Structure 1
Amino acid sequence: MRSNLSEKEGFAALVLRLRADGVSDKQMLLAVEQTPRSLFAPPAFVDQAYAPRTIPIECGESMEGADLALKMLHLLELEPGQRVLEVGTGSGFTAAVISRIVERVVTIDRYRTLSKLAAQRFSHLGFSNIVVETRDGQERSAQEGTFDRILVTAAFEEMPRTFAERLVSGGKLIAAIGSPDQPQMLVKLTKIGSRFEREDLFPVRFQPLLPGCAAVL
């Protein structure tokens, strides 16, 4: 287990890097400070929990580097009272941070193992406003309704219109667009009435969004 001192040092170093990139969202940073990232990292990588590098996790998936994860949350412009959909639960860290700010989080993953482990972490930390589901993230549940914010930690080959339509007016979606073997761009879509404004943010490299639930794991 990472010591409290190392946890504080890792968080402090992360804050300095984020500020250098123009990210100084006090509400979000407080939520991160209250959510020890080392609890979401595999034991072999606990010392790198706050590093900018990608960390491998179960099921052949990965945990985005701390810097990228928090830049995406900053760009979502999270506010109290919002409903947020996250596609790609992974370790559960981003859903945990989001849940400290907003009213409700629905997080989806195609791997049962990842969903189960994330749910255990949420329970251990006392979160009660996160719904964890194992299902195809591209399919819309009749019960889920619409969202103020959507975060997809996977890449689409073209504009994810079906996801954008789940947004309320004024809602925002963050996702990557581009094929697996081509440059990808992280984009922000803002819904204004029946149209969408697109803002290209910066290059990223994500795995493509795969259909269905994983047959194994």
Structure 2
Amino acid sequence: MNAVDHLLAQARNNAWANRRLLVACAAVTEEQFTAPLGGFFGSLRATLNHILYVDWYYVDALEGGSLGPAAWRDEEPCKTAVDLQREQAAVDHRLIAFCEGLDDAVLGAPVRLIRAGGDRIERADRVLLHLFQHQIHHRGQAHGLLSAVGVEPPQLDEFFLNQDRDLRAEELDALGWREKDLWRAWPEPGA
């Protein structure tokens, strides 16, 4: 597997996991969604909004945009899980589209990160790796917060293995994806 295939798989896993998590969040009440539960951001809603606006920031930077810190001007731009699911799906789609266009030149290309204290320049591949790690980190926190409000959190690690294909089929269908298209660059074991 090369770096491009790996990063594209991570972008798809990200969209799948976000969808699965946000569908589960639709089962919580508004009171549970906004309850102060601890964690980095206090509530489930604040944690999920943090994932969203940081995605806006980095995806915009990868696309060559100039959104910068305006991405988090409103720390809770989405008030409901339904709104979050819609907005997160849109930025996830942009991230997948960006990763579908990757090649070695793009991976090593400079990305300008606009910060209040001055712009920073990073490589695209490192920005992507950081973004995926950030998403995983905070999805894990949201996962724990779902448990804290009494909602069974979904499995978020059933995307990559063949043995889990039946467990992810419903979400893949909802996303309009087919198993064979996701893994065409990766031969089956023993092939």
Quickly name the TM-score band, shorter chain normalised.
under 0.3
Structure having the higher helix fraction is: 2
Q: If the length of structure 2 is used for normalisation, what is the TM-score?
A: 0.28
Q: If the length of structure 1 is used for normalisation, what is the TM-score?
A: 0.25
Structure having the higher strand fraction is: 1
